[in-house]
Structure 1
Amino acid sequence: MTLHKEGSATITISTLLFLMLSVVLYYLLFYSYPVIFWILETALLIVYGLIISFFRIPNRNYTVDAHAVTAPCDGKVVVIEEVQPDEYFNDRRIQVSIFMSPLNVHVNRNPVDGEIVYNQYHKGKYLVAWHPKSSTENERHSNVYRHSSGREVLTKQIAGALAKRIVNYNKVGDRVKQNDEMGFIKFGSRVDLLLPLDARINVKIGDIAVGGVTVIAQW
């Protein structure tokens, strides 16, 4: 397991704060109130460990399949429905939404091989990620991938109540590989996939998706 580059500043600051607070607690409490010291020190360790784990990149065997759409992120499938998209597409699409909790791996990955034909950042609100309007009203970053088959897939990285920074590495004209990094969302949110109506959906609501491994759909 490695740590993601997006965590460098956060981890450095967290390490310094953890060490400083530990030293202060030691001098203030260790000799007079050792039990309270260890309770607070344990709490600090747990928080520090959660911050470190948030930026983890686990070792995985990714699914590589030209006929498959892989999960763009880790998380729980919370929406599968036919929708009328609010951008790029004029035809109806199947939306699959994956909710990421703060405990999930937060690297976002390209669901297919293809050319990036659309890349757009949208300012917006910070509704909780499971809110029905978060797909259209929250801060988000959208990509459209044009697969070699001619099919197009749209992804939306969507901010939530805790997620305050969306990072996207793709640019229009890029030719990207399935499961390479698309970006990163800090501290919990969701990613939507908008798929052609003829895509065969392989997951159901409540399933746990593993980014780059789980096959969301096939064509």
Structure 2
Amino acid sequence: MKTHDMDLIGHFEELRKRLIFVLGTFILLFIASFIYAQDLYHWLVKDLEVKLAILGPSDILWVYMILSSIAAIAGTIPMAAYQTWLFVRPALKEKERKITLAYIPALFLLFFTGVCFGYFVIFPMVFQFLLSMSEDMFMTFFTTEKYFKFLINMTLPFGFLFELPVIIMFLTSVGVLNPYRLQKIRKYAYFILILIAIFITPPDFLSDILVVIPLIFLYECSVLLSRVVYRRKQETSLAV
């Protein structure tokens, strides 16, 4: 019993250590991003045809905080993935360690790809569609806070959702998931993805469709990649 308690305490200490590294990375990146938040802001609004406004001094701080937070989150992902790998490494075999370590740069690249997909593909289409509905009806006037909230809702979720294939591959590698289980829960997964699409997009059918299709495609890619990883894992087990 004492040995079990000591092992549990050791796991918690290890987890605490990993979380401190992740939190420290986020804080350092947040400070660095805060210094350059003005440059990031100008880059994001350089092609914007409408003027943004603020309703109070606190909105300026909000813009700095939100831009710094997003940049810090993006930069912290590789460190968070590496610390997660270090935490589960003792439970992995030598070959599994090498394979799963390769997922870390893939996580960052897919996050970056997802954000770019949301920013350069989904966001312009939805934004222009909504603006076209207001022509000759309303005076277009955006507050900085509402514009960036809309921008974040259209881009940031894709960064995390695009990591789905790598996460599923990792969980398949460590035996938590397998392609057969993913196939069984496909209809539930589709339902959850549809809910996510409805939640992160404006209330119009076109936006929902534009978001649902890539999400379902990502899930099917995840199932295929899980099948490849599972098959290789089975072959390795038989060879041993």
* TM-score normalised by structure 1 residue count: 0.25
* TM-score normalised by structure 2 residue count: 0.23
Larger radius of gyration: 2
Greater RCO structure (CA 8 Å; 6+ sep) = 1
The structure where strand makes up a greater share of residues is: 1
The structure where helix makes up a greater share of residues is: 2
